[in-house]
Amino acid sequence: MRRTRILTAVLALAAGLLSGAPTALAADPPSTKLAADTYTWKNARIDGGGFVPGIVFNRSEQNLAYARTDIGGAYRWQESSKTWGPLLDSVGWDDWGHTGVVSIASDSVDPDRVYAAVGTYTNGWDPRNGAVMRSSDRGASWRKADLPFKLGGNMPGRGMGERLAIDPNRNSVLYLGAPSGKGLWRSTDSGAGWSQVANFPNVGNYAQDPSDTSGYASDKQGIVWVTFDESTGTAGSATKTIYVGVADKDNAVYRSTDAGATWQRLAGQPTGHLAHKGVLDAKNGYLYLAYSDKGGPYDGGKGRLWRYATGTGTWKDISPVAEADTFYGFSGLTVDRQKPGTVMATAYSAWWPDTQIFRSTDSGGTWSKAWDYTSYPNRENRYTMDVSSSPWLTWGANPQPPEQTPKLGWMTEAMEIDPFDSDRMMYGTGATIYGTENLTTWDGGGKFAIRPMVRGLEETAVNDLASPPSGAPLLSALGDIGGFRHTDLTKVPSMMFTQPNFTTTTSLDFAESNPNTVVRAGNLDSGPHIAFSTDNGANWFAGSDPSGVSGGGTVAAAADGSRFVWSPEGAGVHHATGFGTSWQASAGIPAGAVVESDRVDAKTFYGFKSGRFYVSTDGGATFRASPATGLPSGDSVRFKALPGGKGDVWLAGGATDGAYGLWHSTDGGTTFTKLPNVEQADTIGFGKSAPGASYQTLYTSAKIGGVRGLFRSTDKGASWTRINDDAHQWGWTGAAITGDPRVYGRVYVSTNGRGVVYGDSAGGGPSDPGPDPTPTGTCKVTYKVTSQWQDGFQADVQLTNTGTSAWNGWSLGWTFTDGQKLTQAWNAEAAQAGSTVTAKNVTWNANVAAGSLVSFGFTASRSDTNPKPAAFKLGEQTCAIAQRAVTNWIMEVTRPSGTPAG
């Protein structure tokens, strides 16, 4: 599970960058007057969502820690708020690969200094070489030293490390282990200049799959970690003893005892495995090594833990289980700097039933496990887990023992005990950072508490975005974790899209005039590749696949939701009336075309493939090729039809070796006009029109006036305003962009590893909603418990305006009579005081016309009986209580307290 992260990046980048990566134009661009606006940028909160392969604590300053991600940059821990702050948002479009961080190092001599080795791929997917970024202000600003080779933050073996290390005695000296046969590199001027260590004897020979012709799995993983023995040096002089890990199963560890002048293979070392980590306990004179038969982070079937005595040169196998009993490799490895005899390790590649964490307090002499079987399949945990801050980490699952939800983790290659606090430990997984602050409870037989420690770290790759005119303000299609419905951008949604759970959602759309109808397409190892919702994405049901479908592709909903057109991978374009129970092949359009719908005419759909635009006026049954010429010849194109404007289509895309820019059609794609003031464009989206403007606001990720950035136009593209700045670039933003149809100036931006970023203009953000609303008139409430578990439940509430005038804001109150306690709400701002609950509108659902209704939901703890509220009040007005025509259903499951039903 969750093994498609590489596909997210490669598919997006191969489609959007390899053919269209921006380079300098051969001729000067047309003169363009470029304005700028000040924007405030935030993430739509998901919290995590991707692989965290490295966590590094500074050894001399308490609470200074860093985390690295494979495609989403680096972060610094902020103790005051217990959050992570991003450090590489300034990486621009041309250097998008530098958002992949292969290693990070924090200087314990000068804690203000931090270094990051960056680069995403070592093969042709990333056109640029790697670099070492250096900062003297803890990552607030950076200088860059370009390298003559590539680095692979998203390559196989990325969980090994750290490849970058600072001499703890002479901090101007750094070492970097390189992949691809490039060897060991050294800097003697604090990372400004680098040269190869010519006499290092082994560049590494291990590759995951030498036969892979793409160069991804066949690249040699090279030098994978560097560890200094700080006891062999004095302040100001170079440390004498240095250990280096090499991706070579027969020659995994080398050592220098003369500050890097000469190197020798460490005598007597074990063979047959790769040393993922080498962690030194200098006080007791032990080098601990975690071995696996594979490079990770997904694979690994056998592994060992070894201890090397630095004083005597003796080796000891300290593995917690016999090799015959392993089905995983070891990687995560840490020692307690306050109690150096305490060492911990992870079984990083134990996918099923769960990862495992091992702990020893006697230097590896004996071990205990984070969990063990009582009588199979039942297990007993030494820990508790609380994921209420990131409830989607349960995946909405209800697994059978010995699996549990939430899982302890997978791909657990990063684990560190705080060097100043034996009770605090953090570890990275394929989806989040978990941590504990009472770790030593383990040693006394108690249960230590694990919870996500990931807030602020946003690491999703975004494939598509939608902001409907009503309902939730944001729907997202994401790699690895499917996607989310955000009813509040500042809160983590209760669950990702489920039923089915796509590993990656590739495309989504809603019906423009009926936004409750939503469709998404995506990838799944086995099962359907399309799903539908009739309640704005809150709940889903699977459709059926035409024969041959192998991936999600793109999908479009008719303007009224009556029909759909789908262009999946592995099959041609298809159309269906209703919710995809019977698909028919579409004629006149090639397989693999990108499809979209007209936002007014329910029978008009559009497509694009290889330079040709296609139009259907019969609901997708047949398409005809448009006579339009001059469009981009490749397939790196994204286009959208304007809401409310029949036949109004905007198209962005292209490549530097051909047509590249932004085109507009007002006749349904029969003809297109290229905007002369846009040199390059990769996305197009629409938002609420500016005050006084008659046309919707345009948003694009583009190059205009010689500047790469995010732009807004309020006059149909006649002029443009740059809305981001050099500190907020996020690498590649070419997958999707959309404005908010309800808030002028608000824009949602896709990134490839930094999640969904949204911005509000300093001059056009949402206004203060004012005092609590006091609507008048009659009302009706429908209250339905949709699911229950051992100590909690989920309910949906519908509030209908049965009066004759519209409400401009609403506030509904009720009383729980049996001790129920509210835990979470969506589509409303809800609070509880004693037994009284108040649910108020959010910005986008404040206005309720006469005869219309508004819906919201919540979760709460419950007693055994869980009686429904006896009365509801809208201000001082008592509402009628309605019963739904459908039969209420209650699903009883066993769930952690406070966890919403999936």
Instruction: Give the residue numbers marked as catalytic.
Output: 70, 480
| Secondary structure of residue 520 in the 3-state scheme | strand
Q: Which of 220, 214, 202 is nearest to 156 (CA)?
A: 220
| Secondary structure of residue 318 in the 3-state scheme | coil
The Cα 539–Cα 560 span in angstroms is: 19
Backbone φ and ψ for 20, nearest 5 degrees, come out as -130, 20
| Secondary structure of residue 692 in the 3-state scheme | coil
The Cα 681–Cα 674 span in angstroms is: 11
Cα four-point dihedral sign 706, 711, 714, 716? positive
| Secondary structure of residue 391 in the 3-state scheme | helix
The Cα 870–Cα 884 span in angstroms is: 16
DSSP character string of 514-567: EEEEEEEEEE-SSS-SEEEESSTTSS-EE--PPTT--EEEEEEE-TTSSEEEEE
Query: Which uninterrupted H or E stretch holds 292?
Result: strand 286-292
The Cα 863–Cα 320 span in angstroms is: 44
Residue 198 vs residues 253, 265, 460: alpha-carbon distances, Å: 17, 16, 39
The Cα 182–Cα 129 span in angstroms is: 12
Backbone φ and ψ for 48, nearest 5 degrees, come out as 85, -140
8 A C-beta contact, residue 647 and residue 664:
no
Token pair listed for 621: 């049954």
| Secondary structure of residue 582 in the 3-state scheme | coil
Token pair listed for 634: 């490749």
Pairs from 123-128 (Cβ < 8 Å, separation ≥ 24): 123/150, 123/214, 123/215, 123/216, 123/219, 124/18, 124/215, 125/10, 125/13, 125/14, 125/18, 125/216, 126/97, 126/100, 126/150, 127/18, 127/21, 127/97, 128/94, 128/95, 128/97, 128/98
Token pair listed for 16: 């959007």
Q: Which of 227, 203, 383 is nearest to 290 (CA)?
A: 227
Match 């991978």 to its residue by tokens. Answer: 569
The Cα 395–Cα 779 span in angstroms is: 37
Half-sphere exposure of 711 (CA within 13 A, CB side): 31
Query: Which uninterrupted H or E stretch holds 15?
Result: helix 5-16
| Secondary structure of residue 24 in the 3-state scheme | coil
Q: Which of 623, 585, 730, 5 is nearest to 615 (CA)?
A: 623
The Cα 671–Cα 665 span in angstroms is: 6
8 A C-beta contact, residue 753 and residue 459:
yes
* Amino acid at the residue 887: T
Residue 468 vs residues 229, 282, 288, 794, 828: alpha-carbon distances, Å: 58, 58, 54, 25, 17
Token pair listed for 397: 């699952």
Token pair listed for 265: 């293979």
* Chain centroid to CA 772: 36
Query: Which uninterrupted H or E stretch holds 286?
Result: strand 286-292
Q: Are strands 880-882 and 779-789 parallel, antiparallel or unpaired?
A: parallel
| Secondary structure of residue 261 in the 3-state scheme | coil
